[in-house]
Amino acid sequence: MFSVSNLHASVDDKKILKGIEIDVKPGEVHAIMGPNGSGKSTLANLVAGKDGYTLDEGSIIFNGQDISGLEPEERACLGIFLAFQYPVAISGVNNMVFLQAALNSVRQARGELPLDAMDAIAFIKDRMKLVEMKSDLLQRSLNAGFSGGEKKRNEILQMLVLEPKLAILDETDSGLDIDALKTVSDGVNHMRSPDRSFIIVTHYQRLLDHIKPDFVHVLKDGKIIKSGNYELALKLEKEGYGWLDQ
């Protein structure tokens, strides 16, 4: 359902990704690991269509369609979701209003009728139970004044609400305590289904204890230098990234 081949990309004329191949089938969970600066977040942002990330070569195919020329919102409406490493705070914009607007935009793209405020609240509150979020966070400004854990829970809540086909989690585990980590992974596990795929970008293996990936790729200097299964993640945790260079 999602594949990139020979992907080369640069940021500010600096080459970051140098030929990446990934093929994600429906229902699969792929983990992308690698040291800092290896290009993990670049890959995530590129797939989501962030400005300033230039695709030099290769293609990004999602459900048979090359999405590399699409606007970010068009990709989102196709069902690509990016859980940000650093979600921005937008003061003044009510979290609930934002969620409802996003939900209806995505629903419309799926050919579904928009939900009115009452239905949307009911739907969102239902999803909130899964991430154990305090309901007053809905009435606050989007991510403004949220703690690190609250922001990440909010990202997972958005994922639960928008029900994407492909969810990319960019370092979602960074800065989380063990309880929050559990909540985040519960949310992801709840979402796992035969027609939904995940790409989990992470530096550490601990999130993968909770969300067992089908494949693990190691990204270094803009290339995937090793692929394997969950065992590979365990080995990386034990021995670090050094042995891969030999």
Partner 1 sequence: MEELFEKKYQYGFTSDIESDSFLPGLNEDVIRAISARKNEPKFLLEWRLKAYRHWLTMKEPNWGKLNISPIDYNAISYYSAPKSQKDRPKSLDEVDPELLKTYERLGIPLHEQKMLAGVAMDAVFDSVSVATTFKEKLMDAGVIFLPFSEAVEKYPELVEQYLGTVIPYKDNFFAALNSAVFSDGSFVYVPKGVRCPMELSTYFRINALNTGQFERTLIIADEGSHVSYLEGCSAPMRDENQLHAAVVELVAHKDSEIKYSTVQNWYPGDENGVGGIYNFVTKRGICKGDRAKISWTQVETGSAITWKYPSVILKGDDSVGEFYSVAVVNNRQQADTGTKMIHLGKRTSSTIVSKGISTGHGQNTYRGLVRVSPLAEDARNHTECDSLLLTPHCGAHTFPYIESKHPTAQIEHEATTSNISEEELFYCRQRGLTEEQAINLIVNGFCKTVFKELPMEFAVEAQKLMEISLEGSVG
Task: List residues near partner 1 by CB under 8 A.
Answer: 48-52, 71-73, 75-77, 81-82, 84, 87-88, 90-94, 97-98, 101-102, 105-106, 109, 141, 158, 162
Q: Which is nearer to partner 1, 91 or 147 (CB)?
A: 91
User: Closer to partner 1 at the Cβ: 98 or 230?
Assistant: 98
CB of 91 to partner 1, least distance (A): 7
Which one, of 220, 163, 177, lies nearest residue 32 by Cα? 220
> Which is closer to partner 1, CB of 82 or CB of 218?
82
> 93 or 225: whose CB is closer to partner 1?
93
Helices (H), 110-147: 117-131
Closest approach, Cβ 133 to partner 1, in A, equals 17
Q: How far is the CB of 167 from partner 1 (least distance, A)?
A: 11
Are 219 and 43 in contact by the 8 Å Cβ rule? The answer is yes
Residue from 165, 168, 160 nearest 41 by CA: 168
Q: Count CA within 13 A, CB hemisphere, residue 172.
A: 36
Say if CB 179 and CB 133 are below 8 A apart: no
Closer residue to partner 1 (CB): 27 or 87: 87
Q: Is the dihedral of CA 193, 155, 30, 7 positive or negative?
A: positive
CB of 236 to partner 1, least distance (A): 29
Shortest spacing between CB 142 and partner 1, in angstroms: 8
Phi, psi of 18 (to 5 degrees): -130, 65
Distance from C-alpha of 123 to C-alpha of 121, rounded to nearest angstrom? 5
